[in-house]
Amino acid sequence: MSIKHNLQNIKSTLPEDVTLVAVSKTKPVSDIMEAYDAGHRVFGENKIQEMVEKHEQMPDDIQWHMIGHVQRNKVKYMASFVSMIHGIDSLRLLEEVNKQAMKHDRIIDCLLQIKIASEDSKFGMTFNDAKALLTSEALSELKNIKVVGVMGMATFTNDQDQLNDEFSYLKKCYDELQSSHSNFKIISMGMSGDYQLAIDCGSTMVRVGSSIFGARNYN
Ligand SMILES: *Cc1c(COP(=O)(O)O)cnc(C)c1O
């Protein structure tokens, strides 16, 4: 199946209020252009350098989402154009995003990554960390970022009960934080293998790569 058909198939199953981030990491510009020509505009990358290179070669109306772990010293390379940063896991990182966004006179939308997986390798804050950050005075001084929701990565497993528990936990975190943070509107959870379940659990933004672009080749 072509990229265009994969996209159309997935979009036809998504509720209207769920945003599809097409995860194009490791894929060439020609593949991304195929999705672009089919009308898609929201793409996700997990490496800043790769996203910058693709951004330079592609149309300006693409919304680029940084979905990977972000190193503070690289924020400056994407601050002029990145549309949303999903992986915020500390106030220090948020301060750096704010500083770089200010240089470009922009306000960058950010999501707090909350650790929902049982594996040690997944980044993220605890619910209490996120709550402390959101209520901190330091945050209220950051005028060039907007925290608009949460992001989570579930455990790499086929166990539907476990996935259900992890997604439901993130939804619960979101609901509690949202009650005192009216900017909140996004729950980014769900990937190729589990986005339908994630939507059932309340996801408003799914990040789908291999189901659109095919398996990734890591050389
Ligand atoms: C790669 C990646 C995805 C997409 O994974 P697929 O299983 O290919 O859909 C989603 N989210 C993050 C953070 C990723 O790094």
Ligand 1 proximal residues by C-beta, below 6 Å: 23, 25, 46, 67-68, 153, 191-193, 207-211
Residue 208 CA, closest ligand 1 atom number:
9
Residue 97 parent element (H or E): helix 91-103
The predicted-structure confidence for 59-78, as pLDDT tens digits, reads as follows 999 999 999 999 999 999 99
**45 domain residue, yes or no:** yes
Q: Tell me if 190 sits within 8 A of 170, measured CB to CB.
A: no
**218 domain residue, yes or no:** no
Query: What does the DSSP 8-state code read for residue 88?
Result: E
Q: State which residues form the domain around 52.
A: 3-211
Which residues does 6 contact at the CB level (< 8 Å), separation at least 6? 211, 212, 213
Residue 160 parent element (H or E): helix 160-178
Which among 67, 112, 114, 189 is the best mutation to test ligand 1's pocket, defined by most ligand atoms within 8 Å of the CB? 67
CA–centroid distance, residue 209 to ligand 1 (Å): 6
Nearest C-alpha neighbor of 166 from the set 149, 150, 177, 146: 150
**219 domain residue, yes or no:** no
- Mean pLDDT throughout 22-44? 98
**129 domain residue, yes or no:** yes
Task: Supply the CATH number for residue 207's domain.
Answer: 3.20.20.10
Residue 176 parent element (H or E): helix 160-178
**138 domain residue, yes or no:** yes
> Does the pLDDT of residue 161 top 90, yes or no?
yes
What is the number of domains present in the chain? 1
**216 domain residue, yes or no:** no
pTM of structure: 0.97
